[in-house]
Amino acid sequence: MEDAREIGTGDIQAELDATLREYQENERKLDALTQEKQRLRERIQRLLRATGKACHNATLGDEQLLVSLKTRTDVQYDEERLRRKLGDRYHLILEPDVKKVRRHLGALRTALSPYLDRIGSPSRELVRKRILSGELAQGDFHGTFEKTEKTTLYVKKRPAGGTPDGAMPC
C-alpha cells in the first residue's frame, strides 16, 4: 500500500481525487448490480413459484446451486389495543424486547442493577468517572484490558446546495 511519504507532496491531492473518482464509479456500479440482483431474485422467485415447488437444484458449470423459498409469518400487534382488551392479563404474553429495553435504558438502570453481573459490560465512561472520583484507582485496571485504535473511513455525498466552493466542512 502506498504511503503519503512515497507520493510527491504535490501529487497527493490529485491522487486522492483520482482515487475518490474511482471509488465513486465503483459505488455507482455496485448500486446498479444490487438493483439487478434484486430484479433477478424476484424473477427467480416468480419462476420457482410457477413450478409449484419450494426448491430447485441447478448445476451451472462446476457449481451446484440450491434455490429454495422459505415463507415466514410476521405478526405485528396493535399493542395499545391488545393492552386494553386483555387488561391485567396483558403481562401474560410479554417478553423482553431488546429495542424497547435500549430505548428505556436510562429509566431501567436501577431496576437492572442486581443483574449487571450477568448482563452488563464495563463502561469506559464509568471507569473514567470512578477513577476521577477516587472510588477506583488507575492501577486497578492494569493488565485487565487491551486498547486498540480502529480507524473508519467515511465517504459521503455532499448535500445539494452545499457551500459555494463545493467544500464540505471536515
For position 163, what pLDDT does the model report? Answer: 61
For position 65, what pLDDT does the model report? Answer: 87
Cα separation, 17 vs 24, whole angstroms? 10
Instruction: State how beta strands 63-68 and 55-60 pair.
Output: antiparallel
For position 40, what pLDDT does the model report? Answer: 94
Closest CA to 122 of 152, 150, 96, 146: 146
For position 9, what pLDDT does the model report? Answer: 63
Residues 109-129: tens digit of each pLDDT: 999 999 999 999 999 999 999
For position 157, what pLDDT does the model report? Answer: 72
For position 8, what pLDDT does the model report? Answer: 64
Residues of the chain with pLDDT under 70: 1-10, 158, 160-170
Cα separation, 20 vs 28, whole angstroms? 12
Distance set, CA 71 to CA 19, 45, 74 (Å):
43, 12, 10
Whether the CB-CB separation of 66 and 57 falls below 8 Å is answered with: yes
